[in-house]
Structure 1
């Protein structure tokens, strides 16, 4: 009998590899249709994945692309979890910050408001 490579549920693997804090969050991401396996959209958390499969999914503000290196037996510490995948995420450009985003609260100061008022076109006056 020929033994095939081990397979594991997609939500369980995402949780083992520490991409999501809970398995429920991983399942919601998959069931919402936000995960692709080998460039095919998947909407079932029970989809079986194994070594060699490529996953594409959003995490925070970036799109992650990872290749599964191993299935894993448990959700271990981070160094152990990093051995489960090969990160192929492309380097993304940083978006320019919005005006005043570097300050807490993001509100413009009085000085900023004055300069904005001076820079606006006063067409009706």
Structure 2
């Protein structure tokens, strides 16, 4: 670990999630925490909650989830390789995430939601034989 990592000490939950690279910004981390997507030791937490090494976190982000144990505190955001050393993930959590990722790769692209783009609309019109724009 670098000199910025400390095996002891405390840090705000939102800062730690940002420094450990679970969220791109602290604001996104705060929104996830307030939305109940992050639990500390099995309980809902606030962004200002202090965490220390040994704390267990459950993080839900989209369809993915992590169950981790905090190993160290890092006061600054460091490269991803160093950030991965701040925690250890449960084996069951890792296997579940890898399974979800594999299923996504097998299914290919997700169907588009919402209105079709201009390009998609033109392709639909060509396919259906209606090339003239409708009013």
TM over 0.5: yes
Do 2:70 and 2:88's aligned partners in 1 also have CA atoms closer than 8 Å? yes
Number of aligned residues: 98
Q: Residue 91 of structure 1: which of 91, 95, 109 is its match? A: 95
What SS class does the counterpart of residue 67 from structure 1 fall into? strand
Which residue matches 1:55? 57
Correspondence for 1:9 among 12, 25, 30:
12
More helix by share: 2
Gapped regions of structure 1 (runs ≥ 5): 107-125
Unaligned residue ranges in structure 2 (runs of 5+): 1-7, 113-135
Q: CA RMSD in A?
A: 2.2
SS of 1:15's equivalent in the other structure is helix
Please give the alpha-carbon distance, in whole angstroms, between the structure 2 residues aligned to 1:90 and 1:15: 20
Q: CA separation in 2, counterparts of 1:17 and 1:104? A: 28
TM-score relative to the length of structure 2: 0.64
- Return the structure number with greater relative CO, CA threshold 8 A, min gap 6: 2
Q: What is the rounded CA distance, in whole Å, between the counterparts of 1:51 and 1:57 in structure 2?
A: 16
2:78 maps to which residue?
Answer: 76
Say whether the 8 Å CA contact 2:54–2:69 is kept in structure 1: yes
